[in-house]
RNA sequence: GCCCCGGUAGCCCAGCGGUAGAGGCAGUGGUCUCAAACACCAUCCAGCGUGGGUUCGAAUCCCACCCGGGGCACCA
C-alpha cells in the first residue's frame, strides 16, 4: 500500500485549497507546534510548582483526571491498535475542557521490566539506551496524533527522581503493620507503634519473651511476621527459563510463565513478599465504591476468593488434632475420611509404624509400611511441576497414612489420607472429605472404595443411597438429613441454617469456630533481574536487615557491563535463582552510617517487579516535580479526593485493556490503601471509573503451509477468494502484529489521509469496548467526511470562506440542535461511534442544503473539535477567531429545536402497518386515535371486523386490534 | 465444566418494547475526464444466530440451544 502514490496527495498538488493529505499534514503539524509552544493542555494545580496564578481559583473549578493505562514503550513501534484508547481519552478530555473542566491528561512510560532487559541482552545494548530510544520513538508517533497531553507530567518509571518515590513507598509499606483492631476492618500503622507496644508490655511478645532481651536478629525475625513488606522463605514459583521467581498472578492456569511460556516449579526460597492479604476484605468491599465493569469486579472478587466457613478440629492419636477448613460445616456428619496435603507438617507425626489390620491393599500404594508409602508419594508429588500436576488433575491419587481421626459429631473413626488434590497453600492444608456432597471427594472416594454418607436430601430425583450415584450432590437448596446425635441435630434444617447451627455447636464444644478464608495469597515482590528498582534495604555484618533512611534515596540502578539474568534449562527444577546485581561487588558492599557509625553493609540484590512503578503513577502525574513529598495533599485532594460522585475518590476515568483485571489493578488498589491508612492520600481508591477498550483485530492471510503472508499485498477476487502473488490464501481473524504480517502503522494512515482522519476512523469503527477488525479500505469514509466539512466552509477553488451570513432557517436549526443534543450525550457517554455518525448526518444535511450559514458552521466545527482537533482549530481560525478553541464552550442544544416538528405516526391493525400519518409531536393519544380511526385506508382495512381494542402511543403509533 | 460479553444488509456497525436503519465501507449506475484516479450524485442489499414463551405488538423482555470472543478452573 505504501508503495503506491497516495492519490489524495496527487490531488492536493493540483488543487492547493482542497483538504487532502498535504494540507492536512501542514495544518496538523502547525497546530501541534502551537499547542506545544503555548502549553495549551497544561493543567494548573492548586498548589506547588504546577500551580498557575493566572489560572484563578483552580480549586473551585470542576476537575477531570483522565488516564490511560501506563504504556510499556515497545521498541517495535506502534500499530493502529495501540492508540485506540489514547485517542478515546483525548476526545473525552477535549470534550471535558469544552464543558468547563480543568482536565489532567498526560501519558508516562512504564519502562522497567523483562522485555526491555531481554531486548538489551539480545542486542547487546544497555536497557537504558534501548528503552529511552523506544520512548522517544513512541512519543514521536503519538505526537502526530495530536493528543492533548500535559507534557510536564509525563514521567517515566526508570527516572531516578521517579523511582526514589517507588522506593520511598516501599519503605512506608516495609515500616508498617496491619492492626486488625484499628478502625473498622483494621488499618496499616507505623511499625514503630508496634515496637512501642512490645517495649511497654502493652502487647505481649509472641512466644512469651521480653522485647528488651531479644537480639536484633530475633527482633527483626519477629517484626517480619507483622510488616506489610517482609522477606521470608516461602514456597514460590521458580521459573528457570526466565531465571526469576514469579507472582501467582504471573503464572498461567497450566503452570507456565505468562511471559515466555516456560515451566514454573514450586520451590522454597527466601523472597520479598507484600502482605496484600491483610487487605482482602477491604479490596472486596470497596469495589462497591467503584464505577467499573461488573466483569472486572467479578474477576477481582473471584481472585480474592473470600469463603465463609469454619475451622474444625478432628482428634487424631492421643492429644493432637488435625484442623480443617470447610465451607460446609453442615455436612460434618457426612465426613467419612480426611486428606492432608503432601507438604502438611502433621503427616510425619501421625504415621504409625505398621499398616492397621485389614487395610485395603489399594490404600497402601504398594508399600510395606505407612511411612514408606507416604515418603514415596511425597517424593512423587514434589517432583511434579505444576504443569504435570495440572495434567494429572483428572485422576485422583493418594495414599493412606495408616492413621485414623475421629469425626467429632458422629464419633466414627475416619481414615486419614495424603493426596495432592489438597493444596498446602489454601485453608489449613487439610480437609474433611464429604464424598456424597463434593465432586472431588466423590471421585477420590470412588477410586479408593471409601464409604459415603448422604446428609443432604437429594432434590433431583435420585435416591439417598450414594452407591447408586454417578456424582456428588452439592446443591445448597435442600435440607439436612441423617445428621443427629444426642445433643446436636441438624435434620430438617436448610443448608444455610445447618451451617450456622453446626458452627455454633462446634464453638460451644471448643473444637471449631466460624472463619473466613481467602484464595488470595501474599504478593511475591522480588525478582532476580537487573532492570528494575533496587530495594532500599541493606544487611549488616550479622545479617540483620536495615531499611535505608529517606535521605539515602534513591538507590540507583548501577550502570554495569553485565546485566544479563542467570537463566537455566527451562526444565531444570533443581536450579535456584541468582541475582544479576550480586555480581557487582563494588555496588553490593557499601559503607554507610545508619546511626551506629560507619559500617560495611551488603545491599539487597533482588529488584522489584515490573508492577511496582505502575502501582502509584497516578499520584505522580498529579505532582511530578515535587521533591519534598510523594504528592502534595492539596493537589491529591483536588484531583483524587472523594466527592459525592466518587465516594472512594480516584481518577475520574481510567481507560485500558481488560487484561489487567487482577494484576495491576489489584496491586495499585492495595498500595493506594496503604498510603491512605498512613495518611499520605485522602482517597481510598486510585481509579474511580474504569473502562475497558476493545482490541483492534485484523485479517490474517495464510498460505497453503499455514504461514502468514503480508496482508497488505493480498488481493480479493470477485468471488470472495483471496490471492497473494497469484497463490490462493486463506483469511482468518487475528490480533494485529508483526508476527502475523498484518500490522498497520498509524504513520502510514496519517501520511495518506492525515491524523484527523485516523482519529475519526478509529472512533467511528464501533463501540469503544468492543473488539473490531481493522479495514484500511474503509478509512476513506472518514476522510471524505472531513473533505465535505471543509468544502462546506472553505472553497476548494480559492481557499476563501464560503459560509453565508444568513440566519439559518428552521429546518437547519432543527437538524443542528438535534445533532447537538445527540452528540453531547454520546460524548459524555463515550459513545464516539454514534457521535461521529450524527456529525456526518448534520454535515450531509448541509451539503444537500447547498450553503452553510456561519453560525451553523461554527457550531459544527466546535462539535467535531474533540474528534478531529486539527481541522477544527484551522476552520475556527479561518472563521475569524483568534487562538485555540480548546476552552471554547461546547454547543448547547435549544430544546425548542431539538425535537422534530412533525413525526410519522404508524397505524397498525393487529400489529401490521396499514397507514401512516404526519402529526405534531405534541399530539395527544385521544386526538391521534380519532385521526387514525378516520383514515380511509384504516377504515377500509378494518372493514366489518369489530374493533376490540385501540392502543394509542402518541405521537408515534396507533395499533387497532380487531376480530 | 463454570462465569461473563457478543451474533442486525457482502463487511464494520446504529436501533435495545412500537415503521428494521443513524453513519461508514464494498457493489451497481451515472456526472466529471481524452481516459483514469480522486471527488460528486443516485441506487441495490437484511427481516435481526436457532427454537420456544410473555405481549395488542419482540431485533429489543424471559427460557433453552448453537456459534464466536474473554475469564476462571482440584481453592475444600
- Residue A775 CB in 7 A reach of strand B: yes
Query: What DSSP line would sit under A645-700, residue for residue?
Result: S-TT--BSEEEE-GGGTTHHHHHHHHHHHHHHHTTS-S-S-SBSBEEE---EEEEE
> What is the per-residue pLDDT for A719?
59
Amino acid A768 CA to nucleotide B5 C1' distance, rounded Å? 14
Give the Cα separation of A121 and A114 in Å (integer): 10
Is strand B in 7 Å reach of the CB of A327? yes
Is A844 near strand B, with its CB below 7 A from some atom of it?
A: yes
Half-sphere exposure of A913 (CA within 13 A, CB side): 8
Sign of CA dihedral A862, A864, A865, A871: negative
Query: Cell numbers 482537533 label which residue?
Result: A869
Chain A 164-193, CB < 7 Å to strand B: none
pLDDT of residue A9: 47
Nucleotide in closest CA–C1' contact with A796: B39
- How far apart, in whole angstroms, are the C-alpha atoms of residue A843 and residue A787? 10
Nearest nucleotide to A519, CA against C1' atoms: B75
Q: How many other β-carbons are positioned within 10 Å of the β-carbon of residue A578?
A: 16
CA of A772 to C1' of B12 (A): 8
Protein residue closest to B41, using CA and C1' = A848
Tens of pLDDT, residue by residue over A705-718, are 777 888 877 776 65
Please report the pLDDT score of residue A423 as a whole number.
85
Q: Which three cell numbers stand for residue A14?
A: 493540483
Q: What is the mean pLDDT of residues A760-776?
A: 90
Which 334-373 residues of chain A approach strand B with CB closer than 7 Å?
A: 341
Nearest nucleotide (C1') to alpha carbon of A956: B18
Report which of A17, A55, A94 is spatially closest to residue A872, judged by C-alpha positions: A94
* pLDDT on residue A388: 64
Grid coordinates given for A344: 502438611
pLDDT of residue A834: 94
Position A490 scores a pLDDT of 93
Tell me, letter by letter, the H, E, C secondary structure of A161-200. HHHHHHHHHHHHHHCEEEECCCCCCCEEEEHHHHHHHHHH
- What per-residue confidence (pLDDT) applies to A12? 45
Q: Which nucleotides of B are covered by protein (CB under 7 A)?
A: 3-6, 11-15, 18-20, 22-26, 37-42, 56-58, 69-76
pLDDT tens per residue, range A674-728 = 999 999 999 999 999 999 998 888 888 887 777 788 887 777 665 566 777 777 7
- pLDDT tens-digit map of A332-365: 999 999 999 988 989 999 999 999 998 999 999 8
Q: How far apart are CA A710 and CA A741, in angstroms?
A: 5
Q: What is the mean pLDDT of residues A236-260?
A: 80
Of A307, A249, A299, which Cα lies nearest the Cα of A281?
A: A307
Residue nearest to nucleotide B18 (CA to C1'): A957
| Contact by Cβ (8 Å): A67, A640 | no
Query: Any idea which nucleotide's C1' is nearest the CA of A520?
Result: B75
Q: How far is the CA of A714 from the C1' of B70 (A)?
A: 29
Is pLDDT of A4 > 50?
A: no
CA(A785)–C1'(B31) in Å? Answer: 20
Q: Spell out the residues 6+ positions from residue A11 whose beta carbon is closer than 8 angstroms to its own.
A: A18, A20
Element holding A895 (H helix, E strand): helix A895-898
More confident residue, A630 or A663: A630
Nearest nt to A390, CA vs C1'?
B74
A 517-546: CB within 7 Å of strand B: 517, 519
Rounded Cα gap, residues A782 and A784, in angstroms = 5
Mean pLDDT of chain A: 89
**B74 nearest neighbour residue (CA to C1'):** A421
Q: What b-and-e string marks burial along A492-529, b requiring 16 or more CB atoms within 10 Å of the CB?
A: ebebeebbebbbbbbeeeebbebbebbbbbbbbbbbbb
Q: Where does residue A755 rank: exposed (0-12), middle (13-18), buried (19+ CB within 10 A)?
A: buried
Is pLDDT larger for residue A930 or for residue A258? A930
Residue A847: pLDDT band with limits 50, 70, 90: very high
Q: What is the pLDDT of residue A7?
A: 44
ipTM: 0.95
CB of A420 nearer than 7 A to strand B? yes
- Measure A812 CA to B26 C1' (Å): 31
pLDDT at position A586 over 50: yes
Alpha helices in A286-364 (DSSP H): 294-304, 347-350
Across all strands, nucleotide nearest A303 (CA–C1'): B72
Confidence class for position A10, pLDDT limits 50, 70, 90:
very low
Q: What is the dihedral of CA A462, A468, A470, A472, to 10 degrees?
A: 70
Using alpha carbons only, what angle is made at residue A166 by residues A164 and A171, rounded to the nearest 5 degrees? Answer: 90
Task: Give CA–CA dist A1/A555, Å, rounded.
Answer: 49
Q: In this structure, what DSSP letter does residue A436 have?
A: G
The answer to whether strand B lies under 7 Å from the CB of residue A959 is: yes
**What stretch of H or E contains A819?**
helix A810-828
Indicate the pLDDT class of residue A890, thresholds 50, 70 and 90.
very high
Distances (CA, A) of A483 to A329, A409, A435, A948: 11, 9, 15, 62
Confidence bin at A122 (pLDDT 50/70/90): confident
Asked if residue A956 keeps its beta carbon closer than 7 A to nucleic acid strand B, the reply is yes
Strand B closer than 7 Å to the CB of A949?
yes
Q: Closest nucleotide to A767's CA, by C1' atom?
A: B13
Q: Please give the residue that has the higher pLDDT: either A168 or A584.
A: A168
Q: Output the pLDDT for position A14.
A: 56
Identify nearest nucleotide to residue A780 by CA to C1′ distance: B25
| DSSP structure class, residue A361 | G
Residue A698 CA distance to nucleotide B50 C1' (Å):
29
DSSP E strands, A85-140: 102-105
Q: Which three cell numbers, joined as nine digits, stand for A528? A: 532476580
A723 Cβ nearer than 7 Å to chain B strand: no
Q: What is the pLDDT of residue A444?
A: 92
| Minimum CA–C1' distance nucleotide for A395 | B74
pLDDT digits (tens, 9 = 90+) for A475-529: 777 889 999 988 889 999 988 899 999 999 999 999 999 998 888 888 989 998 8
CB A780 within 7 Å, strand B: yes
Closest CA to A622 of A58, A40, A72: A58
Per-residue DSSP letters for A570-583? TT-TT-----GGGG
Full set of structural domains in chain A with CATH: 1-28+746-900 (1.10.730.10), 29-159+611-692 (3.40.50.620), 307-517 (3.90.740.10), 696-743 (no CATH), 902-962 (3.10.20.590)
- How crowded is the C-beta side of A569, counted as CA atoms within 13 Å? 5
Q: Read off the pLDDT band of A460 (50, 70, 90).
A: confident
Long-range contacts of A157-162 (CB under 8 A, 24+ apart): A157/A108, A157/A109, A157/A110, A157/A111, A157/A112, A157/A533, A157/A612, A157/A613, A157/A614, A157/A617, A158/A109, A158/A111, A158/A112, A158/A128, A158/A131, A158/A132, A158/A557, A160/A554, A160/A556, A161/A554, A161/A627, A162/A613, A162/A620
Q: Which residues contact A785 (CB under 8 A, 6 or more apart)?
A: A760, A836, A839, A840, A843
Whether A8 has a pLDDT exceeding 60, the answer reads: no
- Determine the average pLDDT of the residues in A134-142: 94
Residue A258, judged by CB atoms within 10 A of its CB (0-12, 13-18, 19+), counts as middle
Report whether pLDDT(A658) > 90: no
pLDDT of residue A866: 97
Strand B contact at CB of residue A867, distance < 7 A: no
Residue A742: pLDDT above 60? yes
Look at residue A301 and tell me whether its pLDDT is greater than 50.
Answer: yes
Question: A910 beta carbon < 7 A from strand B?
Answer: yes
Structure confidence at residue A566 (pLDDT): 86
By three-state DSSP, how is residue A219 classified?
helix
Q: Which nucleotide is closest to the Cα of A12 by its C1'?
A: B38
Average pLDDT score over residue span A139-163: 96
Q: Between the CA of A702 and the C1' of B29, what is the distance in angstroms?
A: 36
Q: For residue A765, which nucleotide's C1' is closest to its Cα?
A: B12
Cell of A480: 439436612
Query: In this structure, are residues A819 and A863 in contact, taking their beta carbons and an 8 Å threshold?
Result: yes
pLDDT-based confidence at residue A637 (cuts at 50, 70, 90): very high
Average pLDDT over residues A524-553: 93
- CA–CA gap between residue A696 and residue A764 (Å, rounded): 12
| Residue A571: per-residue pLDDT | 86
Q: What local confidence, expressed as pLDDT, does residue A3 receive?
A: 36
Which residue is closest to B24 in terms of CA–C1' distance? A781
C1' of B13 to CA of A832 (Å): 12
> How far, in Å, is the CA of A12 from the C1' of nucleotide B38?
10
**Largest alpha-carbon pair distance within chain A?**
110
Q: CA of A542 and C1' of B32: distance in angstroms?
A: 90
Q: Pick from A108, A104, A67: which is nearest to A85 by CA?
A: A67
- Kindly report the CA angle at A225 between A264 and A176, in degrees rounded to 5? 105
> Average of pLDDT values for A78-105?
95
Q: What percent of chain A has pLDDT over 90?
A: 60
Confidence of residue A6 (pLDDT cuts 50, 70, 90): very low
Whether the predicted pLDDT of A26 surpasses 50: yes
Amino acid at each position: 500500500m505504501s508503495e503506491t502514490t497516495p492519490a489524495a496527495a496527487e490531488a492536493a498538488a493540483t488543487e492547493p485549497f482542497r483538504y487532502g493529505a498535504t494540507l492536512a499534514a501542514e495544518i496538523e503539524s502547525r497546530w501541534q507546534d502551537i499547542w506545544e509552544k503555548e502549553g495549551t493542555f497544561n493543567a494548573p494545580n492548586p498548589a506547588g510548582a504546577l500551580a498557575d496564578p493566572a489560572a484563578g481559583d483552580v480549586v473551585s473549578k470542576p476537575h477531570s483526571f483522565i488516564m490511560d493505562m501506563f504504556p510499556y514503550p515497545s521498541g517495535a513501534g506502534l500499530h493502529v491498535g495501540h492508540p485506540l484508547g489514547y485517542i478515546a481519552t483525548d476526545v473525552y478530555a477535549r470534550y471535558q475542557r469544552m464543558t468547563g473542566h480543568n482536565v489532567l491528561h498526560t501519558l508516562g512510560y512504564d519502562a522497567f521490566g523483562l522485555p526491555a532487559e531481554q531486548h538489551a541482552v539480545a542486542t547487546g545494548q544497555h536497557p537504558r539506551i534501548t528503552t529511552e530510544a523506544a520512548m522517544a520513538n513512541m512519543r514521536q508517533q503519538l505526537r502526530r496524533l495530536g493528543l492533548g497531553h500535559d507534557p510536564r507530567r509525563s514521567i517515566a518509571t526508570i527516572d531516578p527522581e521517579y523511582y526514589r518515590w517507588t522506593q520511598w513507598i516501599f519503605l512506608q509499606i516495609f515500616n508498617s503493620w496491619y492492626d486488625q483492631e484499628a478502625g473498622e476492618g483494621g488499618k496499616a500503622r507505623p511499625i514503630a507503634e508496634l515496637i512501642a507496644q512490645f517495649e511497654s508490655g502493652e502487647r505481649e511478645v509472641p512466644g512469651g519473651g521480653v522485647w528488651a532481651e531479644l537480639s536484633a536478629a530475633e527482633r527483626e525475625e519477629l517484626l517480619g511476621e507483622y510488616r506489610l513488606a517482609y522477606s521470608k522463605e516461602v514456597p514460590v514459583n521458580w521459573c528457570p527459563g526466565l531465571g526469576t521467581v514469579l507472582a501467582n498472578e504471573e503464572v498461567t492456569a497450566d503452570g507456565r510463565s505468562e511471559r515466555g511460556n516456560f515451566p514454573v516449579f514450586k520451590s522454597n526460597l527466601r523472597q520479598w513478599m507484600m502482605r496484600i492479604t491483610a487487605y482482602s476484605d477491604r479490596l472486596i468491599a470497596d469495589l462497591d465504591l467503584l464505577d467499573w465493569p461488573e466483569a472486572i469486579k467479578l474477576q477481582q472478587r473471584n481472585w480474592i476468593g473470600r469463603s465463609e466457613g469454619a475451622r474444625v478440629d478432628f482428634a487424631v492419636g492421643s492429644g493432637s488434632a488435625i484442623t480443617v477448613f470447610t465451607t460446609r460445616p453442615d455436612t460434618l456428619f457426612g465426613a467419612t475420611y480426611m486428606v492432608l496435603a503432601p507438604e502438611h507438617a502433621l503427616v510425619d507425626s501421625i504415621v504409625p509404624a505398621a499398616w492397621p489390620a485389614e487395610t485395603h491393599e489399594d490404600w497402601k500404594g504398594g508399600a510395606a509400611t505407612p511411612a514408606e508409602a507416604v515418603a514415596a508419594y511425597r517424593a512423587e508429588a514434589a517432583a511434579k511441576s505444576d504443569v504435570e500436576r495440572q495434567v494429572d488433575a483428572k485422576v485422583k491419587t493418594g495414599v493412606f497414612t495408616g492413621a485414623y481421626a475421629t469425626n467429632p459429631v458422629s464419633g466414627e473413626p475416619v481414615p486419614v489420607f495424603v493426596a495432592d488434590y489438597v493444596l498446602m497453600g489454601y485453608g489449613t492444608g487439610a480437609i474433611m472429605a464429604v464424598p456424597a456432597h463434593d465432586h472431588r471427594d466423590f471421585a477420590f472416594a470412588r477410586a479408593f472404595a471409601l464409604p459415603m454418607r448422604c446428609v443432604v436430601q437429594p432434590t433431583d430425583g435420585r435416591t439417598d443411597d450414594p452407591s447408586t450415584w454417578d456424582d456428588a450432590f452439592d446443591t445448597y437448596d435442600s435440607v439436612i438429613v441423617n445428621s443427629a446425635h444426642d445433643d446436636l441435630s441438624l435434620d430438617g434444617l436448610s443448608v444455610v441454617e445447618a451451617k450456622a447451627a453446626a458452627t455454633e455447636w462446634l464453638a460451644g464444644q471448643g473444637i471449631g469456630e466460624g472463619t473466613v478464608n481467602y484464595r488470595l495469597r501474599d504478593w511475591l515482590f522480588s525478582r532476580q533481574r537487573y532492570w528494575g528498582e533496587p530495594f532500599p534495604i541493606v544487611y549488616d555484618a550479622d545479617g540483620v536487615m536495615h531499611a535505608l533512611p529517606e535521605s539515602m534515596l534513591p538507590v540507583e540502578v548501577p550502570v554495569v557491563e553485565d546485566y544479563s539474568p542467570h537463566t537455566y534449562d527451562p526444565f531444570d527444577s533443581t536450579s535456584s535463582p541468582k541475582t544479576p546485581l550480586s555480581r557487582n561487588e563494588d555496588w553490593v558492599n557499601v559503607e554507610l552510617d545508619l546511626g551506629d557509625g560507619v559500617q560495611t553493609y551488603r545491599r539487597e540484590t533482588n529488584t522489584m517487579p515490573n508492577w511496582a512503578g505502575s502501582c502509584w503513577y497516578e499520584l505522580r502525574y498529579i505532582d511530578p516535580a515535587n521533591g519534598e513529598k510523594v504528592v502534595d495533599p492539596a493537589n491529591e485532594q483536588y484531583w483524587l479526593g472523594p466527592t459525592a460522585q466518587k465516594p472512594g475518590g480516584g481518577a475520574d476515568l481510567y481507560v485500558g485493556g481488560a487484561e489487567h483485571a487482577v494484576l495491576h489493578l489489584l496491586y495499585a488498589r492495595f498500595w493506594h490503601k496503604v498510603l491512605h491508612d498512613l495518611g499520605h492520600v485522602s482517597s481510598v481508591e486510585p481509579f474511580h471509573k474504569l473502562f475497558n477498550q476493545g482490541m483492534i483485530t485484523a485479517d490474517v492471510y495464510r498460505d497453503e503451509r499455514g504461514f502468514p503472508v503480508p496482508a497488505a499485498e493480498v488481493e480479493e477476487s470477485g468471488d470472495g477468494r483471496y490471492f497473494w502473488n497469484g497463490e490462493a490464501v486463506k483469511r482468518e481473524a487475528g490480533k494485529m502484529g508483526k508476527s502475523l504480517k498484518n500490522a498497520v502503522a498509524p504513520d502510514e494512515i496519517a501520511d495518506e489521509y492525515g491524523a484527523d482522519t485516523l482519529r475519526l476512523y478509529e472512533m467511528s469503527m464501533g463501540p469503544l469496548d468492543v473488539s473490531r477488525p481493522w479495514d484500511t479500505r474503509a478509512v476513506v469514509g472518514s476522510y471524505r467526511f472531513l473533505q465535505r466539512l471543509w468544502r462546506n466552509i472553505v472553497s476548494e477553488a480559492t481557499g476563501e470562506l464560503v459560509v453565508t451570513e444568513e440566519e439559518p432557517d428552521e429546518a437547519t436549526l432543527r437538524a443542528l440542535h438535534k445533532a447537538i443534543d445527540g452528540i453531547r450525550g454520546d460524548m459524555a457517554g463515550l459513545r464516539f461511534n454514534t457521535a461521529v455518525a450524527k456529525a456526518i448526518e448534520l454535515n450531509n444535511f448541509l451539503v444537500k442544503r447547498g450553503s452553510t450559514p456561519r453560525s451553523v458552521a461554527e457550531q459544527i466545527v466546535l462539535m467535531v473539535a474533540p474528534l478531529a482537533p486539527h481541522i477544527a482549530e484551522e476552520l475556527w481560525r479561518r472563521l475569524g477567531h483568534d487562538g485555540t478553541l480548546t476552552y471554547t464552550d461546547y454547543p448547547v442544544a435549544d430544546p425548542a429545536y431539538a425535537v422534530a416538528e412533525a413525526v410519522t405516526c404508524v397505524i397498525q391493525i393487529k400489529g401490521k402497518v396499514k397507514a401512516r400519518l404526519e402529526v405534531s409531536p405534541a399530539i395527544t393519544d385521544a386526538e391521534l386515535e380519532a385521526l387514525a380511526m378516520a383514515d380511509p385506508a384504516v377504515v377500509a382495512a378494518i372493514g366489518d371486523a369489530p374493533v376490540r381494542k385501540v392502543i394509542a402511543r402518541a405521537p408515534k403509533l396507533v395499533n387497532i386490534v380487531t376480530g
